[in-house]
Structures are given as structure tokens and as C-alpha cells.
Structure 1
Amino acid sequence: MAAGWTRRTFDADGVTEHPVGPNFQRLRSEFGGAVVLALDVSGSMSGDRIRKAVEGCHRFVEEAADAGYSVGVILWHHGIEDDVAPSSDPRAARGLLDRARASGGNKAVPFLTKAHEQLMALDVGDRVVAIFGDGDLGPQAAAERKAAELVADGIRILTCGLGEGSARELATISTEEAAPRTATNDTLADSIASMAQGLTLKKSSR
């Protein structure tokens, strides 16, 4: 043994443990993410609109899952039509999207409340709500107050509206700094899918 040799201890996260140890859960919490995709299924979304919107949502779910996010879906109108909580397995989210049907009016507070509960129940590093709507938020002051509660808890809000009026109203609760994301009847699927670009910061940190 050479003179001056000193025994040293090297510490590292045990990410190769099998079965998975506590370090895996800690690292997954630090680097993982969860997103709730809220799709407007009010009556004005009937016909070709709902078909195109579902197509765009499927693409969003695929991109989010590929980026390492757990994905949930809420179908909303004046209340909540149906929902699935965020999961690392996107099959339930996809199945719910395929059952989407248009009816009802618009009110944002119920789905914002549900998304808030679902995301705060998860120990993840990035929490996101991605919202598509083709109308208004319902009572706007109440929606803005509820959105502020989500933001105070570190939840990011991405939005996409069909038409300039809807896009501007949804943008009042968005945390994005870019211009309101605006869809047209022709670009509906692409515009909804483009909200996944808001998840690219998490992709680059992986």
C-alpha cells in the first residue's frame, strides 16, 4: 500500500438497486412531472370540432408521456363530464378521450378545482394543467381566483382557445408569457397538440 493512501467513501444515489429502493422515488419526484389535460366538451364543440380536438389531445398525451409525464384528462363543460387522474400509463387517458361527447355550457372553476386536487396529490417536480376551450371560462373573476390558487402552489397553466376571443380569455389564467395560443377550425388538432411544447423544459432537463 503506497504511503499517503487514505481510505475514502464515495456516495451516490442508488439508482441501480433491485428491487427499487427509496432513492428511486426521491429522484423520480425531483425530475418527474404530471399534467392534466382539460378538454372543453361543451355543446358548441359538437360535430367536426370534437373529432379534431380529440385527435389533438391524443397527440398531446403521446408527447407528454414520451417526455416522462404522468398524464390525466378532464372533460369539462359547466361541470365535469368525466376524468381520469394522472398516471404514467396513458391508456386510461386515451380511452376517456375516445368517449368524449359534446354537451352543456362553460364553467372553469369545477375542472380547475379537480385538477388542483389531482396534481397536489402527486410528489413530482413539475405540475401542469393544459386547457383547451372554445368559449369562455364562465364566471371569469371566480375562474381567475381559482387559477391563482393553482399558481400559488407552483402549478403551471398552459392554454389554447378556439378563436381570438376564447384564446384571450383563457390567456388571463395562463402562466405562459407568449401570445395567446389561438386555434382555428382548420388548425384545431395541431394547436391543441402544440401545448406539449410547454413541457419541453422538462424534456431538456432529463
Structure 2
Amino acid sequence: MLALDVSGSMQGDRIFKAVKGCKRFIDEAVDAGYQVGVILWHHGVEGDTPPDSSPKPAHSLLSRAVASGGNDAVPFLTLAHRQLMALDVGDRVVAIFGDGDLGNRHTAESKAAELINDNIRILTCGLGEGSAQELASISTETAAARTATSENLADSIASMAQGLIRKG
């Protein structure tokens, strides 16, 4: 599952660059044999496509992404958890991009712990150091927080696909 922050702060060039990077991530994931779904998130779930071996549904949803709203990670983490647990696959992953915070951090960390307990890996990328550190609090990656800048936004999101190494 790829979760893209579409909160109001993503307006303008940010949303266009983020969508470009997400489409590259999806293509690389599908090429690696993954089913991919997308969740557009802000203070709720704006839209989603369940995991699919074709990139078309995810690409279509991303093409309609519009920035608005605030931030709350719990609704999209809940949806990703439910959709991923319904799959009979060896590697379950949520890749998250955001440019702000998680909403209630304690609640988001508790929800992320449920995913992690079910062997769902969480990859993150944040726009700017503050966002990267906030998202890193729920990441299962051991490397330094993945930090994007306005200049490398698309490349940074797409780079999360490097974490898609099948396990199991």
C-alpha cells in the first residue's frame, strides 16, 4: 500500500511532484511482483484503491489527487492494515509519504504497532527534516529517516521502492 499525504499543505507544485514520484514507485513495485494499492490521506481517507497487480487503478486514483484538509494517520493506517491482511502474500508493506505530522502521534504510533505486530513493514519519506522524523517514529526501517526536499520530491518518493525486497 502506498499512502500519499494530500493535506492542504500539499497544494501546488508539491502534489504534482508527489504524484509523479508515486507513479514511479507503483511501476517499480509492480515490476518487482508486488500488488499495489494507494491511499490518499489527510485527516481522513480521501480515496483508495485496493492492492492490484495492475498499476492502472492506482495511477488513475493518483491522477485525481487534490490537496485539502489536515493530518491524521490513523484512518489510513487502519485501512491499509485491513487491506493488507486480506492478502495471501509473503511481504506486506505500507510506504508512506507526508509533508507534515501524523496527527495524534501517540495514537498513530499505537496503530502502527498493530501493523508491525502483524509483520507489516512500514517505509516512510517525509518532506523536510521535521516531517521525516515524525514519520520515522512509525517506520520499521533502521536507516536514517528518508527526507525529501522540494527539488527531489518525486525521486525521494520513488526511492521507497528500493525497500521492496521480498521477505518470506
TM category (shorter chain) comes to: over 0.9
Structure 1 position 59, deviation (Å): 0.2
SS in structure 2 at match of 1:83: strand
Q: 1:174 and 1:193 mapped to 2: Cα distance?
A: 17
Aligned residue pairs, count: 168
Percent sequence identity is 75
Letter in 2 for 1:124: V
Letter in 2 for 1:147: A
Query: Where in structure 1 do 4 or more consecutive aligned residues deviate above 4 Å?
Result: none
TM-score normalised according to structure 2 size: 0.99
SS in structure 1 at match of 2:157: helix
Unaligned runs of 5+ in 2: none
- Corresponding residue for residue 54 of structure 2: 89
1:127 equivalent in alignment to 2:125: no
SS in structure 2 at match of 1:69: coil
- Corresponding residue for residue 74 of structure 2: 109
Unaligned runs of 5+ in 1: 1-35
SS in structure 2 at match of 1:180: coil
- Give CA-to-partner distance per residue, 1:125-146, whole Å, 9 cap, x none: 0000000000000000000000
The higher radius of gyration belongs to 1
TM-score normalised according to structure 1 size: 0.80
Structure 1 segment 1-206 matched on structure 2, within 5 A: 36-199=1-164, 201-202=165-166
Q: 2:55 and 2:23 mapped to 1: Cα distance?
A: 10
Q: 2:55 and 2:24 mapped to 1: Cα distance?
A: 11
